[in-house]
Amino acid sequence: MAAQTEKTTASKLPIYILGNTPLGQYLAAKFISKGENAVIIASKQQCAASEIEISLREEHSLKKQKINIPCRHYSSEKAKMLIITSQNRNLKSDLMLLSASCFSNAPVVVFSTLPDFKIIESLLKHSTIRAHFDGWLLAKDNQIFILGGEPQITLSKPFNTLEYSLKALSYFHSAEILCQTCEDKNQVFWQTFSVYSVSALASGFYRQSIFNILKNKEKQKEIEAAVNEICSLAAEDNIPLDSAETLKKIYNTPINYVYDTQTPGDATRQELNNIHMTISDIARRHNITITALKKILPKDISA
């Protein structure tokens, strides 16, 4: 019976997930558990094996779900959907693993803090759906811990991707992943970037977790000032963000969650530079001073 189920799953159009990341593994596991043919596409450096064995675990729960995720080094057939979870620094090289012809009729969903997806749309010759992941995932010892409450996804639903957005929404729902839509893709960008940028910069500057940073009253004030500036930048992009609500999301970061930028290294430096460049470009375009955000900029990043 198990062999028959495996054969049936393999015969379905694949849901390709680009990037061997905690988010990619989590989504693949959710789809596979509901009988979908989800496959991670990653370079040999990211994933040398043909299969990844992980366990999904919810925080404060003994419940554990073991999943085997196929891993390939290129796309080879028509896909049901493409989900891009690649880290910004790997995005260009990861895109080289894809064949645009595989995704001509598939929704292309992108989880990224990049301000635009021109490079993706140019290479794939396809419109994209911007996505926001509202949740906390911790990868450790072949386990994905789901911290805090149940994650939720927001998909952009602009007119030019309406059909694809609704398809993607139905696919996520069928995998029992909480999902909603938002018509403004800039709103979806700022939902992700506002919390991520301040938290990642602060983690890189202090080399501490958000939980430990926020135990210090002076650092709390710095974070609050940085959040106010981020919300001002969003307002100039015609996106009203509530600074108190944004700050609350940062305070709600799980105690054991750690941003990658906390650990020094070339990858961290590159990611922090990307965040800084995005913030600086928006501030320059609208002639806004970002004193507080620059204050939490790590010293080895060009201001």
DSSP 105-123: TS-EEEE---S--HHHHHH
Q: 105 in a domain, yes or no? A: yes
pTM for the full predicted model: 0.93
Q: Are residues 170 and 192 in the same domain?
A: no
Query: Per-residue pLDDT for 4 more than 50?
Result: no
Of 183, 212, 231, the one marking the end of a domain is 183
Q: Is the pLDDT at 5 greater than 80, yes or no? A: no
Residues 128 and 250 in one domain: no
Q: Which of 156, 183, 210 is the last residue of a domain?
A: 183
**What is the structure's pLDDT at 195?**
97
Length of the chain measured in residues = 303
Domain that holds residue 78: 2-183
23 and 146 in a single domain? The answer is yes
161 and 201 fall within a common domain: no
Q: Using CB atoms within 10 A of its CB, is residue 39 exposed (0-12), middle (13-18) or buried (19+)?
A: buried
- What's the pLDDT tens digit per position in 99-142? 999 999 999 999 999 999 999 999 999 999 999 999 999 998 88
Give the separation between CA 198 and CA 274, rounded to whole angstroms. 13
* Rounded Cα–Cα distance for residues 146 and 53 (Å): 17
Within a domain: 144: yes
pLDDT, tens digit, 9 for 90 and up, residues 155-198: 999 888 899 999 999 999 999 999 999 999 999 999 999 999 99
Are the C-beta atoms of residues 190 and 282 closer than 8 Å to each other?
no
The number of CA neighbours under 13 Å toward the Cβ of 9 is: 19
302 has a pLDDT exceeding 90? no
Q: Could you report the per-residue pLDDT of 29-78, keeping only the tens digit for each?
A: 999 999 999 999 999 988 888 899 999 988 766 677 899 999 999 999 99
Residues 153 and 250 occupy one common structural domain: no
Give me the number of domains the chain comprises. Answer: 2
Residues 72, 124, single domain; the answer is yes
CATH of the domain at 118: 3.40.50.720
Who contacts 95 (Cβ-Cβ below 8 Å, separation ≥6)?
18, 86, 119, 120, 123, 124
Q: Judge if 178 and 191 occupy the same domain.
A: no
What pLDDT score was predicted for residue 99?
A: 95
Which tens digits make up the pLDDT trace of 269-281?
Answer: 999 999 999 999 9
